[in-house]
Amino acid sequence: MVSQELLDILRCPADVRNGPDAGLLDLVNGAWLVCRDCGRKYPIKNDIPIMLIEEGDKYRNTPVEKLEAPQ
Ligand SMILES: [Zn+2]
């Protein structure tokens, strides 16, 4: 499980430069971090959030309800 302390400080790397409230993430299904600003979706693998823009891009256009468990 990813700690709440970590979740509280994580921001989307594509938006974080835009300010302290930019790039806020929502935890979905305990397995994805979804950016509120750009919609990129970062997978959590083995309890480690993969905060790479190229990873976030892969499921950017996938609706949240269609997300499957990260591979
Ligand atoms: Zn973002």
Interval between CA 1 and ligand 1 midpoint (Å) = 22
The model's pTM: 0.92
Q: Is residue 32 part of a domain?
A: yes
Helix, strand, or coil here: 64? Answer: helix
Mean pLDDT, residues 46-62 taken together: 96
- The domain tally of the chain equals 1
Interval between CA 9 and ligand 1 midpoint (Å) = 14
pLDDT digits (tens, 9 = 90+) for 9-26: 999 999 999 998 999 999
**44 and 31 Cβ atoms separated by less than 8 Å:** yes
Q: Is residue 69 part of a domain?
A: no
Helix (H) or strand (E) holding 6: helix 4-9
Which single residue is written with the structure tokens 């993969």? 50
Residues near ligand 1 ion, CB 5 Å cutoff: 12, 14-15, 23, 35, 37-38, 40
Interval between CA 44 and ligand 1 midpoint (Å) = 16
Residue 40 has pLDDT above 90, yes or no: yes
What residues make up the domain containing 9? 4-64
Q: What are phi and psi of 22, to 5 degrees?
A: -90, 145
Mean pLDDT, residues 50-71 taken together: 94
